[in-house]
Amino acid sequence: MIKEARLIENFLDMVKISSPSKNERAMGDYLLKVLKELGLEVSEDNAGEINGGNCGNIIGVLRAPGKKKLLFSAHMDTVVPCEKIVPVIENGVIKSDGTSVLGGDDKGGIAAIIEMLRVIKENNLDHPEIVVVFSMGEEIGLLGSKAFAIESYGIDYGFILDSSGKPGKIITKAPSAARGKITIIGKPAHAGISPESGINALTVAAHAITKIKLGRVDVETTSNIGIVNGGQATNIVMPSVELDYEARSLSNEKLDNLLAETFKIFEDVCKEFGAKLENTVQVEYPGFALNDDEKIVEIVKNACERAEIKSETASSGGGSDTNIYNSKGVPSVNLAVGMTKVHTLEEHIEIKDLVNLSKILVEIIKG
């Protein structure tokens, strides 16, 4: 029932549409048109307005009164560079020309959802009530899903298409994440004439950094300083330094303990040197954990079995809209799309994976 040529054509059309975070308007207009042509009830919410973007979440509903309500979702935005994506097909693999990302993250997921809807329509398949959400701003903090009023739709289960790996991989666990800036404020002084009268913020930061836990803390937990900004000139004792920090863990308790320990170390070292500390780090999104025997996991496993595709459950070190929907009370899993080397110029996806993902979705709505 899956029409491979149509699926690939749609995918190629979409990746050519530039849609960086908060600038998804062209992609949103494309999807509004497609969903209307498929006969869904279509709307756009105010997620763009809330988050300072030019497009909200695109929502489509395929009614089936009295039946289960299933959510299928993927995000519209891509990381940069994505201004002019030129897709290339070689030996069954779709990639970019090397000057940009491909945008399979997450237009591969969108393409599979659209193909599922087309198969339903042209084959007059019996189906549950389907709510489709194409979210904005996922790559910069899950902004669209946070703003989406999922509670008003009465959804029973959510299937989010936004994981790397082969179709059949079911993400049932993902971490909570905290993110923000740690700023150390020292005291400027002339670096050549009176350095001893200043407080070098970088020196303070360096002492603290040698004491905190960074990298792989344990099997469930990570910690990282990704960006460092500070200083004015080489002849000035650095007056302040700003550290962009994040931490993640599959255990909320471990994350809380790590954050408390990290902040205590920075506070103590700042006090020792006479520096001041400003901290904006906070939990950005909650984690989730589903058991392998839960109904939603069984639904996907059974669909994979009918599609003759191997299934497996796994945990992820990254966040997705799945985290938000689970936190809002909708049991949800993140399904692998087949995208590989995402967020790089080497990103690619195999055509057979797009086909297999579409097959799995059709089997999910069948059963």
Nearest alpha carbon to residue 96 among 353, 358, 349: 349
User: Residue 278 forms beta bridges with which residues?
Assistant: 183
Distance between CA 339 and CA 167 in Å, rounded?
A: 9
Say which of 24, 77, 105, 350 is annotated catalytic: 77
Distance between CA 50 and CA 219 in Å, rounded?
A: 36
**Residue 70 near residue 120 (C-beta atoms within 8 A):** no
Sole residue written with tokens 């590989």:
340
Nearest alpha carbon to residue 93 among 307, 310, 353, 308: 353
Would you call 90 a catalytic residue per the annotation?
Answer: no
Per-position b or e across 185-223, b if 16+ CB within 10 A of its CB: bbbbbeeeeeeeebbbbbbbbebbbeebeeeebeebbbb
CA separation, residue 168 to residues 34, 156, 161, 356 (Å): 27, 21, 11, 8
One-letter identity of residue 115: E
Burial (CB count within 10 angstroms: exposed 0-12, middle 13-18, buried 19+), residue 301:
middle
Nearest alpha carbon to residue 349 among 34, 81, 1, 101: 101
Distance between CA 228 and CA 100 in Å, rounded?
A: 26
Distance between CA 349 and CA 335 in Å, rounded?
A: 15
Would you call 115 a catalytic residue per the annotation?
Answer: no
Nearest alpha carbon to residue 366 among 172, 187, 125: 125
Say which of 24, 45, 115, 138 is annotated catalytic: 138
One-letter identity of residue 250: L
Nearest alpha carbon to residue 17 among 3, 6, 33: 33
The DSSP call for residue 87 is: E
Catalytic residue numbers, as ranges:
77, 138
